[in-house]
A and B are shown apart, each in its own frame.
Chain A
């Protein structure tokens, strides 16, 4: 078996093959870099590790569950060996003095980081068109976006460069690109994975998430990084389940809720048909299907686009030319701050800082920020009510459309509405994942599974079964 062949095995099989001396870890990661180079037109990576560095890393990699497995990491997750630019001019070339806990756990499990992936600047976007380093292209159709903001990680997995990649989620930035690129994307429970070393966008909504070529790749990828971390005060000390143990488990007794608000009359009929088919499959596999209601779903986008920019306006204050960022020439300190920030931030980041500062300002705080905080509690309570009623997982479409073409969502509000089915999980902090359920007009669409806090195993149980039952039909 050649190293290129090994790249097409699952992550767990790759690690086993290397452990059994069926391939060398150094050759596998070198083959991965060759695929990155062959797909350079995608612009999936901001920085690619050198062949010499990955071969050395592979040679000394611990024999863990990801021994010798190449992985890609989004460019807002801190690494000491490669720069962390967040897709922004203001951090171009910046190398973190410390490493994210998730990255340290990956290295301890034997994974080899092949590069840092492209993203919308500071994770603000749904298409990866907002990167200072140029847009990333969808591997399945280069005229279309890969989704965002973690579009580079999604493209890396979908193009076959690696089986697992990491991204970040604030409103759907892993699940939406996973749906657009025909792969699996998982956002864990808020607090399940340490955010130490994740550059903050909106701290009450930010998560680290994982992309996998398959459900099993995503399960392994999450297994490795999940767990408590004393360096992140929001990481919760709850035991981590065995996500892969859900593979092959029967769905008998599993109650799947289908929330009516995620299937509006305006939903694309072809996407609805793919969802209906997936729901039928879950029923045939033994799950009980129950229609449920999450009545405040339509408020998620207004709430999200108040809270996230408000938090961003505070978090991004540190990029001022003193603490971070190259310093612009200016006559005095205030002028230096303003020039540095204006020259360093792109249009979408500027727009969101302005919006966030506005909703926090005197005279507007109560009407926007405080109201959004209160409505967020309603949205969270909706999920709590449904899961308390005996529902184990929810099934919805991931996105209202397949991947769109470049420039198709030039109006900011149109772009924000791309997150309509995903932002709720970030607001409520519940785990959610997307997996391919079929093609619409030649492009993949995703089905979304959501579960109660720290019940990722329920989600994976349904996902494994659905993937197995749909088989090649998931991408047909």
Chain B
């Protein structure tokens, strides 16, 4: 299960780390060396342990998405419309050419 350049770049994106191209080969080599040492775990029989560990952890897809807001946009203002937030009319609006009836 050797780590590739693409793996490192994908994982770096998931971890939100900028990864200069010249850093990738060394990281690939180091990670493969470390993970080779982990291979011994494959030989351990764990059939009788850890039912909780197998089932308790919810999982999600590995997707580098946008940065979500903690709350929906609509919760920040009472009157969203077409992706904009409607705000009270201020006196300065008329100076900018706002028409009568605008909110």
Q: Is the CB of B31 within 8 A of A354?
A: yes
Provide the bound-state CA to CA distance between A279 and B43, in Å.
34
Residue A159, interface by CB 8 Å: no
Residue on B nearest A303 in the bound complex, by CB = B41
Chain B residues near A320 (CB-CB < 8 A): 16
Whether B41 lies near A302 (C-beta < 8 A) is yes
Q: Kindly state whether residue A276 has any CB partner on chain B within 8 Å.
A: no
Q: Distance in Å from the Cβ of B22 to the closest Cβ of chain A?
A: 13
What are the interface flags for B11-31 relative to A under an 8 Å C-beta threshold, 1 for contact and 0 otherwise? 110111111000000010011
- Assess whether A299 is in contact with B40, with CB atoms less than 8 Å apart: yes
Complex interface: chain B residues within 8 A of A353 (CB): 15, 17
Binds A, one of B53-61, B73-81, B84-92, B93-101: B53-61
Inter-chain contacts of B37 with A (CB < 8 A): 301-302, 305, 413
A388 beta carbon closer than 8 Å to chain B = no
A378-B49 Cα distance, complex, nearest whole Å: 8
Contact B67 A412 (CB under 8 A): no
Q: Is A242 an interface residue (CB 8 A)?
A: no
Chain B residue nearest to A296 (CB atoms) is B44
Closest residue of B by beta carbon distance from A350: B17
* Contact assessment for B53 and A357 in the assembled complex, using a CB-CB cutoff below 8 Å: no
Tally chain B residues at the interface, Cβ within 8 Å: 36
B18 neighbours in A (Cβ, 8 Å): 338-339, 341-342
Min C-beta distance of B87 to chain A, whole Å: 23
Is A38 at the interface (CB under 8 A from chain B)? no
Residue of B nearest to A365 (CB): B59
Contact assessment for B41 and A372 in the assembled complex, using a CB-CB cutoff below 8 Å = yes
Q: How far is the CA of A350 from the CA of B15 in the complex (A)?
A: 9
Q: Among residues 367 to 411 in chain A, which have CB atoms less than 8 Å away from a CB atom of chain B?
A: 367-368, 370-375, 377-378, 381, 411
CB distance from A335 to the nearest CB of B (A): 8
Instruction: Name the A residues within 8 Å of B62 (CB-CB).
Output: 361-362
Residue A37 at the chain B interface, CB threshold 8 Å:
no
Question: Is B42 in contact with chain A by the CB < 8 A criterion?
Answer: yes
In the bound complex, CA of A110 to CA of B14 (Å): 46
A368 to B38, Cβ gap below 8 A? Answer: yes
**A356 CB, nearest partner CB in chain B, Å:** 8
Q: How far is the CB of A402 from chain B (nearest CB, A)?
A: 24
Whether A263 sits at the interface, judged by CB under 8 Å, is no
| Interface range on chain A (Cβ under 8 Å from partner) | 35 or more
Against B, the Cβ 8 Å flags (1 = close, 0 = not) of A408-444 are: 0001110010000000000000000000000000000
Q: Given A353-B15, A353-B17, are A371 and B46 also a contact pair (CB < 8 Å)?
A: yes
Question: Are the C-beta atoms of B41 and A358 separated by less than 8 Å?
Answer: no
Shortest CB-to-CB span from B1 to chain A, Å, is 7
A364 lies within 8 A of chain B by Cβ: yes
Given A299-B40, A305-B34, does the pair A337, B16 have CB atoms closer than 8 Å? yes
Closest to B10 in A: A361
- Residues on A with C-beta less than 8 A from B31 are 351, 354-355, 358
Chain B residues with Cβ under 8 A from A306's Cβ? 38, 41
Cβ–Cβ contact A374 & B46, under 8 A: yes
**Taking the nearest CB of chain B, how far is it from the CB of A347, in angstroms?**
9
Say if the beta carbon of A334 comes within 8 Å of chain B: yes
Q: Do residues B46 and A378 form an inter-chain contact, with CB atoms below 8 A?
A: yes
CA of A358 to CA of B14 in the docked complex: distance in angstroms?
Answer: 9
Q: Give the residue of A350, A357, A371, A416 whose beta carbon is less than 8 angstroms from that of B42.
A: A371
Asked whether A357 and B49 contact (CB < 8 A) given A302-B40, A334-B16, the answer is no
Residues of B within 8 A of A268 (CB): none
Over the window 307-344 of chain A, the binary record of Cβ atoms lying under 8 Å from chain B Cβ atoms (1 yes, 0 no) is 00000010001001000000000000110011101100
The residues of B that contact A377 with a CB separation of less than 8 Å are: 46, 49-50, 53
A191 to B19: give the CA distance in the assembly, Å. Answer: 38
List residues of chain B with CB under 8 Å of any chain A CB.
1, 3, 7-8, 10-12, 14-19, 27, 30-31, 33-35, 37-38, 40-42, 44, 46, 49-50, 53-54, 57, 59, 61-62, 66-67
Please give the residue numbers on chain A whose beta carbons come within 8 Å of chain B beta carbons, in ascending order. Answer: 296, 298-299, 301-303, 305-306, 313, 317, 320, 333-334, 337-339, 341-342, 345, 350-351, 353-355, 357-358, 361-362, 364-365, 367-368, 370-375, 377-378, 381, 411-413, 416
4 new A-B contacts, CB < 8 A, other than A367-B42, A374-B53, are: A296-B44, A299-B44, A353-B17, A354-B15
Q: Which 10 pairs show the lowest CB-CB distances between chains A and B?
A: A374-B46, A342-B18, A338-B18, A374-B50, A337-B16, A373-B53, A357-B15, A302-B38, A377-B49, A357-B11
Q: List 10 A–B pairs whose Cβ atoms lie within 8 Å, in order of A's numbering.
A: A296-B44, A299-B40, A313-B15, A339-B18, A353-B15, A371-B41, A371-B44, A378-B46, A412-B34, A413-B33
